[in-house]
Every structure is written in structure tokens, then in C-alpha cells.
Structure 1
Amino acid sequence: MSRLPKVFSPLAVLPLTAALVLSAVLPAAAEQLPAGDAEPLDQAHAHNDYEHDRPLLDALDHGFTSVEADVWLVDGELLVAHDREDVRPGRTLQSLYLDPLRAITRANGGSVYPGWDGSLQLLIDIKNEGAASYTEIDRVLRRYAGMMTRFTDDRVHEGAVTAVISGERPRALMESQRLRFAGYDGRLPDLATGTPAAFMPLVSDNWTNHFDWTGEGPMPADERERLHALVADAHAAGYRLRFWATPDTPGPARDALWTELAAAGVDHLNTDDLAGLRDFLLARR
């Protein structure tokens, strides 16, 4: 995702600068600040990122440029967890993601990674009460407007962080807004609808709903052709493409599937294994 040119402070590249900023805002997080020397990897998406020991920070240490947070609206708060019974007080969208990202981008002169001109994708998966949850997400994101990508009618004003709404997505409500701080995550049938990329920057779907091959043996020619056609259609319309439910157990099958996805130009490779995907992508270079 390209960015408008920015002016960087000479101190922006120093991890110490970010540590000082975070220590004033988030004392606990400052002690675990990413080193700041990870190479940003365009295709690296951290699925269920919040389940790692250090949500967001572990992903940034491994160069990930997209992270996923599942949110539940509970008593007016956006709590981050995969299942309702796992929500915990204090583990909010703000504390785990937005506050650290604001501190980091301020320390890095407007970027998530020092000197990087990309935009970190924050995929927010709504787990309950779609319209009510989105309304609260929208209210919260406006408090972080300085770092967020803005969506206005047919234009996108890119910021250091781009929020995209997945899960229980209230499409009509989002389409009714003249100014949004989040895009809409579409599904493969949406490729044929002509939906503007300024509303739907991302299209995601379940791999197993559309493909039989899961990495064992050669990929069937017809499935490879279909995959490349989907990528071409998505990119022609200005969308990024992601699949979930791809094999994630380390081994030849996973590597084979990742190889096909990367070769086809799929924009985000989905994983819980941060080190595994980082090493795979760096090896391809």
C-alpha cells in the first residue's frame, strides 16, 4: 500500500526514541517495544494476532504489515478475544492496538516501521452486534484520526494505519457515511459487483470453500488457473486479496500452498506462525 511522502525526523530511525515515547504513554509496553529493525513484509498477515504473547508487538518484531483483531462489544467496550468466554477486562482494541500504534507512529515520524512508506492493515473482525459494534469502532477510530486512513466517497487518504472491518459487517451503515476511518472486507462474490475499492479495499474468503487442493502433491492446473484469475480480477478492480483457512501446520504442504499463493500475487498470506512466514518470505527474496 503506497503512502504519500512524509518528512522524517533524523531521530525517527532510533528505537530509543520510540521507547521514550511509549514509556510516557504505555510504561509496560515500552519495555517490550519492537526492536525497530525488522524488514516490513508486504504479504505477511498475522491471523488472530491477539493470541501471541505480545499482541501487535510480536508481529512487528517479525515484519508483519497486517494484523487481525477479533472484537466483542461488551458493556460498551471493544474487548479483543476469539471467543466470548475469553474476553478480559482491559484487553481492549485501544490498549492492545491503537494506543501502541499511535505511540510508535509518533516516534517514527508518521510510520509504523522507521522509514517505511507503507500502511499497516488493522483487520478488525466484529464478533457480535454488527451495527452497534461498528458504531463504537467508528467512534473510537476517530480519536486516532491522525494516524488512520480516511475513506471519503470515492477517495482514500492513506495514513500510517488502515483499518478494515470484517466479520459481522454492517455494509449499509458503512455505505451511508460520508467519512469513514475503516474500509469494508468483501467476499469473492463481491468481485463481480463493481463495488468501489475506496469502500472495499480488501476481499477475503475461506480457501476451502473454493479450492480442494491443500498443498499435497502438485496443484491441479484448473485450480491454479482459477487462483490466478481471481487475483487478476481483484487487482484490476483495485482490491487486495486474502484467504483464510489455509493449512498452517509447518511442513511441505504449507510451504507448497504458500508458494502458489505468493506466485499468484495473493496480497496477504494468513498465518499464526510469525517466524515461519517471515522466514518463508525472506527466503523467497
Structure 2
Amino acid sequence: MNPLPHNQSSLECGIRKIIATGTIPAPNAYWQPNFTTSITPINCWSHNDEHQQIPLYTALAAGCIAIEADCFIPSYYSSSRFLTSLLSYFTSSSKLVVSENDLLVGHETSELNPAKTLSSLYLDPLLEILTQQNKAAGNPEKKVGVWNENPHLSLHLTVDYKSISSGHDGISILYSLLEPLRTAGFLTHYDSATEKLISGPITIVGTGDADFELICGYESIYIFKDARFFNFLSSQNPFNSLYVSGNISKSIGRFSKSKGPTKKQVRIIRNECKEVRERGLIPRYWGAPDSEDWWRILVESGVEVLSCDDLDRGGEWLRGCIINGVGVGASWKDDIKESDVEGWDEGLFGRCIVS
């Protein structure tokens, strides 16, 4: 599909206006015309996105196709942590109460705040953004997404459950929270009755301790699993899963940040990625150094989506790469030979895997 038509009265990218405010937008300011005009989406995963200056929006402005929100069920917002913010709570003009029907966003329990929920930071803004994007496009039968330059590219919102109990009890909470997006037709889903996978502007991914059996327990699947390299189930496939991820050190062991991986370690990465792609899923690692040398090694070895914390630098680098047609340089080779590379046993930095 061609890019969405631009509003000729103002070609300035709408999301950049929002970013310029430096604050999380109010509900009446979730969207601006020409929302992502001129932004090329890239295969970047915004790791621990709640730590970005403006959650969701900073990642969208960088072009990230995957955004990770760390979540706990409400019971983790304990009374002890509530007391640490008691003063601000009682001096606030708006008294916030923890909702039992939402997920709290935070990488650690000490970060939890009743004002920072999955709904307030991600789901509510995305519903308004998609509603306005489709209105601007004339409300087409096939829904458009957040990307003006690639309207039918799905955004992956990954919910990282940070505890086993959150990953169990939080699945039903998430399904309830998704109802407005589901009703509007904005979600990718698998219909078991017709055995069809229907793509939507948003694809929800359950990662971390998300309970796979619960995810698959619904007649129609609206939450897709992020599987693990070290615990991949034969029942995981493109109809119930999207990614296969893992801590890179768990796959390759100890590594040198300065010298890079060895020949043996690159072989492990390549073999894992090849197996994942053959299953129709997306390989990803976390825990690798945030450096261009490591990014190059990973992309050329078959990693399709890079996990990044520094979105500006990661995004700039990725726009020099081609990964499944998203972005614009290096790509993996399935037929790479060890003889193509010198000095693998000493670490690969300073050498190019793919000529």
C-alpha cells in the first residue's frame, strides 16, 4: 500500500510535535496530524520502553516496530511501597487508586506507580492513535496502523510479565484490557474456527513469564508468545507465537565485549537464528552490548530484530541495514562459510562477516 496522504496544511511530523513537549501527552493530545510522516519503521525492539523519556512515543518517533512494556499484576504494588510515596499521594490534587483490572508498568516493583499502567501509557494512546489514523485515511475496510509511510506494517506491543504470578494472573487482565482494540478491529489474531491468521495494526506479544498454555486457551488468540531458545515447545508456531528470544550469554556463554564473539559463538547464534526462521518466527537476543560492532555481528548472523536501549543511535545504525525489507546495507547470508572470515577464534571485531 502507498503511504497515507499527507495533510498539505502541515507536513511536520505530528509525533515530533508531541515529543517536543517533553512530557507524556494528555488524552486529548495522543495524536497529531501527519502522525509518523517521514519516519521509516525499523526492526528495532525498544527494550524496557517505560524508561524512555516518553514511553511509546519515543520509540515510535525512532521507528521501532517492537515496544516492550514491563508489567506486574496490581498485587505487587504492596503497602510498603505505597508508604514510600504516601506524601506525594496525599498532597496530589488527584488521589490515585490501584486498579485491580489493569497492569502496572515497571521493570522493578520499586518503580510501580498507580498512575503508570499499561492502559494509560500504551493501550489508551494506541486506541486513539489508530482511530485517528484510520479516520485520516478515510476509514478503509482494511485498517491502517501507526506508520504513515508503511500503513499495513503491524506494531508489536510486547508485554513483559516480570513474575510467574503476573504471567499467570495477568493474562486474563490483559485480554480484558484489549477489548476496545479488539472490538475496533485493530488486533492481529488467530481464529481457530477458520484456522486463519488475520493481521492487524497492532500485534500483542506476551513475553517474560507469560503463561503459554493460558495464551492458547482462548478460542481466538490475540496474545502471541515470545518463546525461548532454551525452552522451545513443539506446539509453538506462527499461529500462537511471534518471537523466539533469549539472553545471549545463556546461548553462547561468556563473551568479550571488546573483541566480540568467537567463531564457535557466532556459529551458535547463526544456528539458533536459522532454526527459528525455519519455524516462521523472529529470532531476537537481549543482553548483547549496545554497540555497532555487536549489532553488525547479530544482524549478519540472522537476528531479525535488535533489542536496543539507545533508540536514537540504534535507529540511525539500523537505517543503514536491510532486514526483511525494513530499513536501508548489511544482511545475513545463510550460505556463509567459515573461510569467509579470518581470526574468528580471537573475536570478530574489525572484520566483516558478509562481504
TM-score tier, shorter chain, comes to: 0.7 to 0.9
Contact 2:104/2:118, CA 8 A, preserved across alignment = yes
Greater share of residues in strand: 1
**Aligned counterparts, 1:33-112, within 5 A:** 36-41=37-42, 43-74=43-74, 75-76=99-100, 77-109=102-134, 110-112=144-146
Secondary structure at the counterpart of residue 144 of structure 1:
helix
Do residues 147 (structure 1) and 186 (structure 2) align? yes
Q: Pick 1 or 2: higher relative contact order, CA cutoff 8 A, min separation 6.
A: 1
> Which of these residues, 188, 202, 207, is aligned with residue 248 of structure 2?
207
How far did residue 28 of structure 1 move? 4.5
Q: 1:192 to 1:91 in 2, by over 3 A?
A: closer
Contact 2:30/2:128, CA 8 A, preserved across alignment = no
Q: Match for 2:114: what amino acid? A: P
Further displaced range: 192-201 or 161-170: 192-201
How far did residue 247 of structure 1 move? 1.3
Do residues 224 (structure 1) and 266 (structure 2) align? yes
Q: Match for 1:245: what amino acid? A: G
Further displaced range: 202-211 or 99-108: 99-108
Q: 1:164 to 1:85 in 2, by over 3 A?
A: same
Q: 1:180 to 1:134 in 2, by over 3 A?
A: same
Q: 1:8 to 1:247 in 2, by over 3 A?
A: closer
> Which of these residues, 233, 236, 242, is aligned with residue 278 of structure 2?
236
Give the count of matched residue pairs. Answer: 271
* Pairwise CA RMSD: 2.8
Match of 1:114 in 2: 148
Give distance in 1, aligned partners of 2:34 and 2:121.
13
Further displaced range: 46-55 or 85-94: 85-94
Q: Match for 2:277: what amino acid? A: H
Identity %: 23
> Which of these residues, 241, 258, 264, is aligned with residue 295 of structure 2?
258
Match of 2:216 in 1: 175
TM-score (norm 2): 0.69
Q: 1:37 to 1:100 in 2, by over 3 A?
A: farther
Give distance in 2, aligned partners of 1:138 and 1:240.
23
Give distance in 2, aligned partners of 1:225 and 1:8.
39
Secondary structure at the counterpart of residue 65 of structure 1:
strand
Gaps of 5+ in 2: 19-24, 75-98, 135-143, 322-327, 329-355
TM-score (norm 1): 0.85
Give distance in 2, aligned partners of 1:45 and 1:131.
24
**Aligned counterparts, 1:3-18, within 5 A:** 10=5
Gaps of 5+ in 1: 249-253
